Chains A and B, each alone.
Chain A
Amino acid sequence: MTPLIADSEVGETDPFLASFDTFEGEEMASSPPSWLRPFRKAGLSRFAELGFPTISDEDWRFTNVASISKLPFSPMGKTPSAGADRLSLDILPFSGVPVHRLVFVDGHFAKDLSRIGALPPGVVVTNLAAGLSDPSLELEKRLGKLTQDSKNAFGALNSAYFTDGGLVIIPPGTALGGAVHLCFVTTSSQAGASTNVRNLVHVGQGASGTVLESFTGLNPARTLTTCVNETWVESEAYLEHIRFQDETLESYHVGSLHYHLGSRSRCWAHSFSLGARLFRANIRATLAGEGLECILNGLYLTRAEQLADHHMVVDHTQPNGTSHEYFNGILDDRSRAVFHGRILVRQDAQKTDAKQTNKNLLLSDEATVDTKPQLEIYADDVKCTHGATTGHLDEDAIFYLRSRGIGLERARRMLMHAFAGEIIERVQNEPLRAVLDRIVRNRLEQNPHVKVEI
């Protein structure tokens, strides 16, 4: 191995570095583009340099990743999992919705499970590994461009080890007919097994499309998923991006979502997090043009020992931009949520309209929330608000419903569903919204704490 490892003071990263030779050896056998090797090595070296974050790092104060660093790290290599071809589509979420579907099993593209329908001329919807071997796409000009300044150890780890992911390119002025579903499923039951995937989405000037990402797991195990997204929404383009995470309650999931928005573009990004023992989303939105609109909309449902952590930075660099963040969480048992929302309004970003709310509903006295809104404003003519609430179901509303004949249990469910519904109803794509609504509703129905103990 290269000497950079010796420089690292964080010995716990060693197992995460040691797998690289084997991984790369397999990779070379498939003759990847020449630029990819230095790209991966740079990621590895960056990871070694950063090490795992600790709770003394301000951005990770409430989320301890020591349990991830102690995993017997085993990245998914070139060989697809044996079980991939035995998978049935029915067990995958959103399988009933007609979309362009790319299925990835343990980080590998499963062609037989995937189906890409007819696409408008010039639209690219494929798996990233296929895109990398097509020089005409010039992905070396894209990959890593939005993440290069990031001090994100998990993102760096992903650069070194990513196996595949989704690639969506919509040329200028083109509407992507039908949504793209990037469907990631983990089948491994081996502790430390790590799926590292990467998505690249480029919506050209005046183009539009909907991209759904889902993450599910089949076997409860201490697996690790890292995912890095680089998403460009060029000027006057529109993207609806839906992210749905429902991995097993033993697993770890760290997602790094980078958005780069052009002038008068609109980006509606939704995050639904239901699964994983530890979930972390690093959301970075660079609002690089004038008069754009960025909606970050999220719902998390946690129970047992789950932790859901959303850490976002919205960077207003140009005038007349609008950014709204709405995050609602429903927490049960001893679960925890962390919300860190930083809105940065640079000096040139006059007339910025930025709004941020984080609302939490606690179903248990042991559930906790750490919420930290943060405004950093250097322009003088802006409208910025933020607010956070944490509380229990509204007793007055429950009584009102009961006074009309609705039972206590149903009243509670109605209110919980309404709270989740505030987020769900912002999803613009109707068929996907209906599925999300059903999944969330079912999950809330299963909650034993809604039951009345009399």
Chain B
Amino acid sequence: MLEIRNLHAGIDGKQILKGVTLTINPGEVHAIMGPNGSGKSTLSAVLAGRDGYEVTAGEVIYQGKSLLEMAPEERAREGVFLAFQYPVEIPGVNSTYFLKAALNEVRKHHGLVELDAIEFLALVKDKMKALELREDFLKRPVNEGFSGGEKKKNEIFQMAVLEPKLAILDETDSGLDIDALKVVSAGVNRLRRADNAQLVITHYQRLLAYVIPDFVHVLCDGRIVRSGGKELALELEQRGYDWILSERNHTA
């Protein structure tokens, strides 16, 4: 599904990713963990196509196509979804209008007929309930005045509506209390299928207790320095990132 090969990228002339290689197959959940400044956010930004990042080497193949050559909206239409660490407030843009427009762009891209307002509402109703979103939610402007938890739930709600092939969850657990974390995690887990994949980017192990990864990768200084199963996350939680860093320095 996704193949990242020797990816080098940076911003403002500063090299941040220094050769990331990672393969994600359908049905898999991968977690990328790493300390602050290791390049986690840069990786998600480059995959989603945010402006300002420069890829200096390497490539990213998504479903047989070069992902980096696609505009952000094309990536989204092809099934890449980024759940933002800091979802943006967009005053004046109604949530229904926004999400219906997004869904119909995706449907159009796949040759499906666009949904009208009634069909759209029927589709989203249960998904809203599952994420414990209030009924007036769709009438409000996108993320405006939402609490931190509501914003994160909204990201997962959008994911549920758009049904991406590859979901990238960027620090989705940050700012969530334990109840909200459970709701959000359950939402993510419900979307897990044999034909899609999830990439969970997180600093802490906390989220991984609920969204169980098949693989855990540790990102340090722009490279994946260690990969393992879900037990690696627990080990990191107990021993901290210094453990990996010092081990690495030792072997180097």
Physical interaction between A and B: yes
Report B-chain residues with C-beta under 8 Å of the C-beta of A404: 73, 76, 81, 98-99, 102, 105, 158, 162
Report A-chain residues with C-beta under 8 Å of the C-beta of B84: 400, 403
Given contacts A403-B82, A404-B158, A405-B73, contact A417 B92 (CB under 8 A): yes
Q: Judging by beta carbons under 8 Å apart, are B105 and A407 in contact?
A: yes
Interface residues on B, range: 20 to 34
- For chain B residues 187-215, which have a beta carbon within 8 Å of chain A? none
| Closest chain A CB from B208 CB (angstroms) | 24
The verdict on B116 contacting chain A, using a C-beta distance below 8 Å, is: no
The verdict on A410 contacting chain B, using a C-beta distance below 8 Å, is: yes
The verdict on A402 contacting chain B, using a C-beta distance below 8 Å, is: yes
The answer, among A395, A399, A408, A418, for a CB contact under 8 Å with B93, is A418
Residue of B75, B98, B99, B106 contacting most chain A CB atoms (<10 Å): B98
The verdict on B71 contacting chain A, using a C-beta distance below 8 Å, is: yes
Q: Judging by beta carbons under 8 Å apart, are A400 and B102 in contact?
A: no
Given contacts A399-B51, A404-B162, A405-B106, contact A414 B71 (CB under 8 A): no
Q: List the B residue with the shortest CB-CB distance to A402.
A: B72
Within the assembled complex, what's the spacing in Å between the Cα atoms of A396 and B72?
A: 13
The verdict on B48 contacting chain A, using a C-beta distance below 8 Å, is: yes
Given contacts A395-B51, A399-B50, A399-B51, contact A405 B105 (CB under 8 A): yes
Report B-chain residues with C-beta under 8 Å of the C-beta of A397: 88-90
Report B-chain residues with C-beta under 8 Å of the C-beta of A422: 91-92
Report A-chain residues with C-beta under 8 Å of the C-beta of B103: 405
Q: Judging by beta carbons under 8 Å apart, are A406 and B87 in contact?
A: no
Q: Judging by beta carbons under 8 Å apart, are A401 and B71 in contact?
A: no
Report B-chain residues with C-beta under 8 Å of the C-beta of A421: 92
- For chain A residues 380-435, which have a beta carbon within 8 Å of chain B? 394-397, 399-408, 410-411, 414-415, 417-419, 421-422
Q: Judging by beta carbons under 8 Å apart, are B162 and A405 in contact?
A: yes
- Other contacts beyond A399-B50, A402-B49: 7, CB < 8 A: A399-B72, A405-B102, A405-B109, A406-B98, A406-B105, A407-B105, A418-B91
A residues near B, CB below 8 A?
Answer: 394-397, 399-408, 410-411, 414-415, 417-419, 421-422
User: 8 nearest interchain CB pairs?
Assistant: A418-B92, A405-B76, A404-B102, A405-B105, A402-B72, A400-B88, A421-B92, A402-B73
